[in-house]
Copies of this chain bind each other. A is one copy, B any other.
Amino acid sequence: MVDAVLFELLHTEMVAELWAPDSDLDPGPGGQRTSLQVLEGVGFRVGQALGERLPREMLAFREELDVLKFLCKDLWGAVFQKQMDSLRTNHQGTYILQDSSFPLLVHVGSGLQYLEEAPKFLAFTCGLLRGTLSTLGIKSLVSASVAALPACKFQVVIERS
């Protein structure tokens, strides 16, 4: 009935709470971390924990590209009940994951004036990707960008040790 939307509702309320004008939670300009960093951190730890729950055989990927494909298909399926629309790579450790209708953005208005609202709906998921990769043994930097709502791109840059 409602289980599929529960995660999205909780995410929405977490964002709302962090950006509420009268929020006691907003660390403010003097805070050590911004609200975006808090959300990214929560996403990272959820991603780590999700990664730890993966079936054993999934943890034995041979190729980096297989791991990224897993994120696009299985992780996205589990979290958003859909698949990522495209995955591109420069074969040098940079991957572009594109979702043409990202579920956490579809409720945001689609005008240009809403573009500046987008980052707060992407920070958790950047962390989620980074955390899942971390559990799979891959250190990365993940950022997101939006050109036209509700489409968005996640850029994953693998950190070589």
Q: Are the CB atoms of A38 and B10 closer together than 8 Å?
A: no
Does A139 lie at the interface of the complex (its beta carbon under 8 Å from any beta carbon of B)? no
Q: Are the CB atoms of B32 and A24 closer together than 8 Å?
A: yes
**A interface residues, tally (CB under 8 Å):** 38
Against B, the Cβ 8 Å flags (1 = close, 0 = not) of A41-84 are 11001100110011100000000000000000010011101000
Cα distance A11–B13 in the bound complex, in angstroms: 12
Enumerate chain B residues within 8 angstroms of A11, measured Cβ to Cβ. Answer: 10
Q: Are the CB atoms of A41 and B25 closer together than 8 Å?
A: no
Does A16 lie at the interface of the complex (its beta carbon under 8 Å from any beta carbon of B)? yes
Q: Are the CB atoms of B6 and A50 closer together than 8 Å?
A: yes
Against B, the Cβ 8 Å flags (1 = close, 0 = not) of A79-99 are 101000000000000000000
Against B, the Cβ 8 Å flags (1 = close, 0 = not) of A96-128 are 000000000000000000000000000000000
Enumerate chain B residues within 8 angstroms of A50, measured Cβ to Cβ. Answer: 2, 5-6, 9
Residue of B nearest to A32 (CB): B24
- Quote the shortest CB–CB distance from A65 to chain B (angstroms): 21
Residue of B nearest to A37 (CB): B24
Q: Are the CB atoms of A54 and B6 closer together than 8 Å?
A: no
Closest 5 CB pairs of A and B: A24-B27, A24-B31, A2-B78, A25-B25, A13-B42
